[in-house]
């Protein structure tokens, strides 16, 4: 079975990927598929960021959509991940935040989200995909202590200590 976790951009899917992979013995894990082509192996779980490829990925046996209720948190996480090319694991340094640059990026990200992602999300739902809201994921009582591992990397809260957003976990 090929299980695809699909989301608009880098926010939440790695947390779910790590969590599910830890509970699926015998499944291979591919961190991310970056072309709209299925992996050529069986019993695999992987993630696919739709707004990275701008093309649907067809043919997986199971799609799990993950999205954010808090769109502002998604915008911030996506912006900071791209700006600093840092997505998971412990932060090694402080990073800059430029409000003007962020506001410009938000405009573009909002357009992509509304005009490209939402129709793709609706298509997947109409074809039987399951949907999970990031904010509804309850892995353990204290996620900060019991985060899942992805390979040898412990997933750490990233882009969550900003004055612009409430302190919450954004992966």
Mean pLDDT of 17-46: 88
C-alpha dihedral over 129, 14, 105, 72, to 10 degrees? 70
Which contiguous run of DSSP H or E holds residue 76?
Answer: helix 71-84
- Residue 125 has φ and ψ, to the nearest 5°, of -60, -40
CATH-assigned architecture of domain 2-154: 3-Layer(aba) Sandwich (3.40)
User: Quick check: helix, strand or coil at residue 8?
Assistant: coil
pLDDT confidence tier of residue 156, bands split at 50, 70 and 90? low
Identify the burial level of 99 via C-beta atoms within 10 angstroms of its C-beta, where 0-12 means exposed, 13-18 middle and 19 or more buried.
exposed
pTM, two decimal places: 0.80
Query: What is the pLDDT confidence band of residue 5, given thresholds at 50, 70 and 90?
Result: very high
For residue 83, with 0-12 CB atoms within 10 Å meaning exposed, 13-18 middle and 19 or more buried, which class applies?
middle
C-beta separation of 88 from 156 below 8 A = yes
* Residue boundaries of the structural domains of the chain: 2-154
Please give the angle made by the CA atoms of 124, 136 and 52, to the nearest 5 degrees. Answer: 45
pLDDT at site 16: 81
∠ CA(33), CA(34), CA(38), 5° rounding? Answer: 45
Say what the pLDDT of residue 3 is.
Answer: 96
Contacts (Cβ under 8 Å, ≥6 apart) of 106:
75, 79
User: How much is the pLDDT for 123?
Assistant: 96
C-alpha to C-alpha distance for 50 and 113, rounded to whole angstroms: 10
Cα 158–chain centre separation: 12
Q: Which of 43-47, 78-82, 135-139, 164-168 has the lowest mean pLDDT?
A: 164-168
As a whole-number percent, the residues of the chain with pLDDT over 70 amount to 71
């Amino acid at each position: 079975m090929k299980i695809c976790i699909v989301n608009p951009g880098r926010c939440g899917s790695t947390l779910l990927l790590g969590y599910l992979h830890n509970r699926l013995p015998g499944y291979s894990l591919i961190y991310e598929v970056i072309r709209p082509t299925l992996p050529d192996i069986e019993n695999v779980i992987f993630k696919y960021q739709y707004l990275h490829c701008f093309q649907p990925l067809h043919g997986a046996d199971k799609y799990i959509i993950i999205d954010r209720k808090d769109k502002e948190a998604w915008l911030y996480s996506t912006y900071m991940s791209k700006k600093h090319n840092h997505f998971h694991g412990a932060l090694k340094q402080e990073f800059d935040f430029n409000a003007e640059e962020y506001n410009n990026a938000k405009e573009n990200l909002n357009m992509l989200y509304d005009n490209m992602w939402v129709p793709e999300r609706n298509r997947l739902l109409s074809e039987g995909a399951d949907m999970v809201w990031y904010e509804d994921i309850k892995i353990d009582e204290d996620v900060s202590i019991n985060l899942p591992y992805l390979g040898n990397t412990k997933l750490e809260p990233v882009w969550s200590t900003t004055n612009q957003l409430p302190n919450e976990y954004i992966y």
